[in-house]
Structure 1
Amino acid sequence: MFTVFPNSLKTREQLVEYLTVVIFTASAQHAAVNFGQYDWYAWIPNCPSTMRKPPPTQKGQVDMKYIMESLPDRGRACWHLGAVWALSQFQDEEVYLGVYPDKHFTEQAVIEATKTFRKKLAEVTTIIKSRNETLILPYRYLSPDRIPNSVAV
């Protein structure tokens, strides 16, 4: 989702909406796109990093030999695998959504809002884990317990 920076924010609701987009983009959306890269790109034909032959210009001209000759060579494929594997990894000291080790806010209203937020995150996590129990291939990328607080590359 792309949002243009507004010229001004005139209401509290506009500020809330804009900040929600920023926070979502830097946390949940990034996690959903980033941490699944290896799952998708590890099989090189899903998303080859390079192609060694031009795309066909007519239907029916491509056979398995052409496809194999088009895919990247082993060296390029290994580089590609290494890059997407590294990008798909969590940091050793990852800080997840709702976890705030630094106590920047001490006001009771903020502390209560944080508790409420954490409770809702736990509820969503429980729902996602429950749904995943019945799936052959679980989808974990939008589970709050697997969403870092921010982008760390």
Structure 2
Amino acid sequence: MKPADPDRVIAVARSWLGTPYHDQATLKGVGCDCLGLARGVWREVVGPEPFPIPPYSRDWGETGPREVLAEGAGRMMIEVSPAEASAGALVLFRMDRRAIAKHVGILTGPDTFLHAYERLGVIEEPLTAAWRRRIAFAFLFPQR
């Protein structure tokens, strides 16, 4: 599996900027959450989604024995180490060190990322040390 062009991934992700936040939605310009943003970028860069996404909890502090989000991404994307992740990579954040990874963003540069955030919608912001240390997994979008 070859990775998609990172410039294309970033351009598509940026086309979602300003989309309002809406839990479990995935419609550009209408509403999405962080996973909905990633799903929308997937559809534009790779093609149809390979499987339906079941309803999920918004609880960033959720614990459990399985990294469900990472397992799903690993079935259809190219996993890389968080240290090797660069622009165009999908990153999964662990918002609490004891919790499973539940937040998703797309790196847009060495120190910036794009994500959908409650009350703010899709935004691009600095990848601060606080965000960087929460990255638990990283994946590359595959070519179409």
TM norm structure 2: 0.26
More helix by share: 1
Larger-Rg structure: 1
